[in-house]
Amino acid sequence: MNNLHVDSITKSYNNKVVLSDVFLFCEKGEIKGLIGRNGSGKSTLLKIIFGTEKADSKFVKIGGKVIKNLSDGRNLINYLPQDSFLPNNISIKSLIYLFLDNKNRKVVLENEYVKPLLNKKKQNLSGGEIRIIEILLIIHSKAEFILLDEPFNGVSPIVKEYIVKYIKKLKLTKGYIITDHDYENVINLADSIVYLQNGFLKQINEESELIELGYITKNYLQH
């Protein structure tokens, strides 16, 4: 079984170190939660793993294959960015045919949330509707590892709950790394948590560690 192995990732902007020798490991069937304050470098890390952001140094491997660039990772890693990636002026149905193979296409075309939107175009959808379509397209791609950057951005609590259940249901077939500004969303979904601060990644074993790190308060933990 293939695993995602990320090592020695270093990244600086204008002499400021954003990521310092980051190591991350994700197995198929695992949901890894990546948390940290805004600006800590979470999105940068995901983009480097995916291949759309250059690093000062990096080592990314899936199974026996070293992933040096975006094309190396095709059909192995896929990334949901924070901002919408769907083009305008194309129907949702056409986009599903464009993005997915026959097997996965059928699942998404018959999805209860997607069905009413098939003949609409992106500009006629709400932010939440766009987001759920994008999430389904990424999850049902051929990729073995899925990187989700703020997937719950702009979705209603009901849809959020649906997405959490959906990912859990499909988790055995892929590995996931997920980040969200709302810590609770990640905790509800993840099997294990890593925390990014001052360029370093730390494994979190107990939620109380997040109090010590100053990420959450005792009150937050108790509510």
CB half-sphere exposure, 122, CA atoms < 13 A:
14
Domain coordinates in residue numbering, the chain: 30-54+71-222
Smallest CA-to-CA distance from 187 within 154, 209, 170 is with 209
Would the pTM count as exceeding 0.85? yes
CATH of the domain spanning 30-54+71-222 = 3.40.50.300
Cβ neighbour number for residue 40 with a 10 Å cutoff:
22
Q: What does the alpha-carbon distance between residue 68 and residue 73 come to, in Å, rounded to a whole number?
A: 8
pLDDT in tens, the chain (223 residues): 689 999 999 999 888 889 999 999 999 999 999 998 888 899 999 999 999 999 999 999 999 899 999 999 999 999 999 999 999 999 999 999 999 999 899 999 999 999 999 999 999 999 899 999 999 999 999 999 999 999 998 888 998 899 999 999 888 889 999 998 888 888 888 999 999 988 999 998 887 887 787 777 666 555 4
Smallest CA-to-CA distance from 113 within 163, 183, 184 is with 163
Compute the Cα dihedral for 215, 220, 222, 223 and give only its sign. negative
